[in-house]
Every structure is written in C-alpha cells, then in structure tokens.
Amino acid sequence: MASSLAATDRILVLPEPLPLDSGQVLPGVEIAFETYGALAADRGNAILVFHALTGDQHLASPHPITGKPGWWDRMVGPGKPIDTDRFHVICANIIGGCMGSTGPASLDPEGRAYAMRFPVITVRDMVRAQVALLDALGIERLHAVVGGSMGGMLALSLAANFPERAARVLAIATAARHSAQNIAFHEVGRQAIMADPDWRGGDYYAASGSGGKGPEKGLAVARMAAHITYLSEAGLTEKFGRRLQDRAAKSFGFDADFQIESYLRYQGLSFTDRFDANSYLYITRAMDYFDLAEEHGGRLADAFAGCAARFCVISFDTDWLYPTAESRAIVHALNAVAAPVSFVELSAPYGHDSFLLEVPALDRVVQGFLA
C-alpha cells in the first residue's frame, strides 16, 4: 500500500545503517519527507514537524490516498502560524510508518516484506532517523522542532538526545512517558489486530494479491477504540449525544442506530484504507516504551540537563489521553534545570484532538513562540 505511493514523496536513503535502541541495526533506511517554504542560505530557518501516531509527512499538502488536505494545513502555510514564507518546514514519515519510510511493509535485504521481522523500534530510534535526515540535508540546527501527541514525544526526545539540534522545542498535547492507561488502550488495539485471522502473524502482504487485504477488521476495531480516547466526553455529547442515524426510532437491532456508532464505524473502516496494521503495532509499541525519565537514569530533569533550547509546552483542558498533569511534569523537569520554558493549558472542547482542530489560541501561541 505505502510503497506504491512513495514516488510522490521525496525519499532519502540514509547513507549509513541506523543503530537502534534494541541493539539491532537497520540497513538501507529510506525516509519519505515533504518540505514547504525555501531554505535560507544560512540554513537557519528550518522547522522540523513530527507527526502523530497515524499522521504522515503530508503536513500541508493533500494526502495522496484520501485526497484530504494535509493534517496540519490550518497551521502550516504562507502567512499561517508556522509561516512557510519565513520558514523551511520539513515533515518526514517516521520509520516504522507506512507512507514511504522504512517500516514493516518494506522489503528486507532478502527481498521479502519485513512484517513482524522488522525490529521493534523506539521513539528515540525514530528521532535518530530524522536527525540523520537533517544531516543529509545539511541542517545543523533547527529554528524549531514541533510536535503534537506522539510528535511531541519525538520533539522532547530530540531535545534530550540531540540537544544541539534545535533552538526551540514546541511540545503540544503530549507526555514524557506513556501511562498505564495509555498502554492499556494500545494493548487493546494490538490484540484486536492480532486476533484477526487475516493478520497471519503479520505476513499478510503476500496474501494481498490473492484478495486478502490484511487484518482490516482488527485494525478498524483498534482505530475505533483509540478514536474514543482522542475526543472528550463533552465533545462527543455535543457532537453526537444520543441522536439517531438517519432514522426516526431505534431499530431494535444491531445496526448503527446512533450517530456515534455510525461515526466510529466510518472512522475504523476508512482508516484501513490508508494505514498498515503492522505499522500500527510497531508505532504503538514504540509509544508504550517511551519514558524519557527512564532513558536518563530515572529523573526527567536529567533528560533536559544538556539542552540549551527554549521550550514551549501546551496542553488542552479536555485532553484525557495526555492530560495537563503530564505537561506539568515536563515543565517541572525543565524548571529543575532552569531551562527557559513557557507553558499554557488551553481551553478547547475537542479533547486530545484539539491540537489538530480550530483552536485560535493555539495558533497565537505557536506563532508567538516561533517568532
């Protein structure tokens, strides 16, 4: 699925094998990325944006499969908060992903899809791959690194592990580690995928030609469960409540009587058109493994001790996936090492997804921080 679209992306093949936290080494890593806006002669105006779990490099240009606008189209562009008239904005598909960068659907050196033979990667591995991309592009120091949700984890990881590479770090709706509840929801999704007989232990790629399309039902269930966590209870009540879907009365059956059921089913099904189930397994695993404090001797502040960047941390009051308390923990750690940090909890009704949606206050904070 992903590889057929790779031609529309810029692809960089990393010149060196990529060392991984697991101890393994990944050879021939390809990174698919997009850029927006011109790179200044001094290469000092680059902003790297990290995408979230199910995002990709199509930040501000239409998605090649869905045809929808880029996932942060409202934030990135000429005159927008991340202003492509001023900045050279880079967004790369993470390794482990399925939109052109090397992941479980990619071919291994023997020429067959990695599937579950792909090494388990970490958030730091994803960052390491993109730092190698920056090296290849000749960008030594970013004007800023920016990310929401998992993208925020990558931004924090870059700050901690490559402290010289970014002058500004903007982490939105994120956390410095995955909580038990976060892991729990991901585990439900993984089990849903692995319970689907079409998963075939991950080796469903070969079967695609014979009509099989991979564990679509399991992946849809995983997406449905995750999607609930992206929205606030109040937002769901406002948007759907108990309203029925195209009917005047309950059916006394198991159709999607309620709008929320219809909506979730659609979210699940449409997701399978653009996402690879094995990538979902690997990326959720990387997120669950993420614990920036643990990586740095158990004390989060130590993760940031060597970093000279300015930080901006943003949370949303209705985000129950990565609630404000998680952002506060990051801010306290930054305070402990006297790092310059501004922090704001924004009020928005959309839950975790607020970082992707129409929240004018977010635009102002982002624009101000990058200025």
Taking CB under 8 A as the criterion, the residue among 187, 206, 308, 360 binding a second copy is 187
Task: Report the Cα 11 to chain-centroid distance in Å.
Answer: 19
Taking CB under 8 A as the criterion, the residue among 31, 150, 173, 221 binding a second copy is 221
What is the H or E stretch that residue 312 is in? strand 310-316
Site for a second copy in 141-180 (CB under 8 A): 177-180
State which residue, 138 or 197, has the beta carbon closest to a second copy: 197
Q: Does 239 bind a second copy (CB under 8 A)?
A: yes
Single-letter code of the amino acid located at 233: E
Q: Does 270 bind a second copy (CB under 8 A)?
A: no
Burial (CB count within 10 angstroms: exposed 0-12, middle 13-18, buried 19+), residue 267: middle
Span from 93-101, 147-155, 247-255, 358-366 in contact with a second copy (CB under 8 A)? 247-255
Q: Does 192 bind a second copy (CB under 8 A)?
A: yes
Q: Does 119 bind a second copy (CB under 8 A)?
A: yes
Residue 234's alpha-carbon distances to 244, 262, 352, in angstroms, are 18, 18, 12
Nearest to 36, CA basis, from 101, 99, 83, 96: 83
What is the H or E stretch that residue 96 is in? none
Single-letter code of the amino acid located at 52: A
Q: Does 260 bind a second copy (CB under 8 A)?
A: yes
Q: Does 19 bind a second copy (CB under 8 A)?
A: no
One character per residue 57-86, x = contact with a second copy (rule: CB under 8 A): ------------------------------
Q: Does 360 bind a second copy (CB under 8 A)?
A: no
What are 46's strand-pairing partners? 88
- Which DSSP string do the residues of 44-92 spell out, in sequence order? --EEEEE--TT--S-SSS--TTT-PPPTTTTTEETTSSEETTT-EEEEE
Place of tokens 């850029």: 35
The one catalytic residue among 149, 157, 232, 279: 149
Residue 352 a catalytic site member: yes
Where do the H-state alpha helices sit in the chain? 123-137, 150-161, 180-195, 216-230, 233-239, 259-274, 277-289, 292-295, 300-303, 324-336, 360-370
Residue 319 a catalytic site member: yes
The one catalytic residue among 319, 327, 353, 354: 319
Site for a second copy in 272-301 (CB under 8 A): 281, 285, 288-289, 291, 294
Q: Does 329 bind a second copy (CB under 8 A)?
A: no
What token pair was written down for 213?
């399309």
Taking CB under 8 A as the criterion, the residue among 188, 301, 344, 361 binding a second copy is 188
CB of 321 to a second copy, least distance (A): 10
- For residue 290, the number of C-alpha atoms closer than 13 Å in the C-beta half-sphere is 33
Taking CB under 8 A as the criterion, the residue among 131, 183, 301, 336 binding a second copy is 183
Residue 108 a catalytic site member: no
CB of 187 to a second copy, least distance (A): 5
Nearest to 177, CA basis, from 68, 265, 294: 294
State which residue, 21 or 302, has the beta carbon closest to a second copy: 21
Nearest to 322, CA basis, from 187, 196, 189, 185: 185
Q: Does 353 bind a second copy (CB under 8 A)?
A: no
Span from 91-99, 100-108, 163-171, 219-227 in contact with a second copy (CB under 8 A)? 219-227
Judged by the rule CB under 8 A, the positions of this chain that interact with a second copy are 21-22, 116, 119-120, 177-181, 183-185, 187-188, 190-192, 194-197, 217-218, 220-221, 224-225, 228, 231, 233, 236-237, 239-242, 250, 252-254, 256, 258, 260-261, 264-265, 268, 281, 285, 288-289, 291, 294, 320, 323
Active site residues per annotation: 149, 319, 352
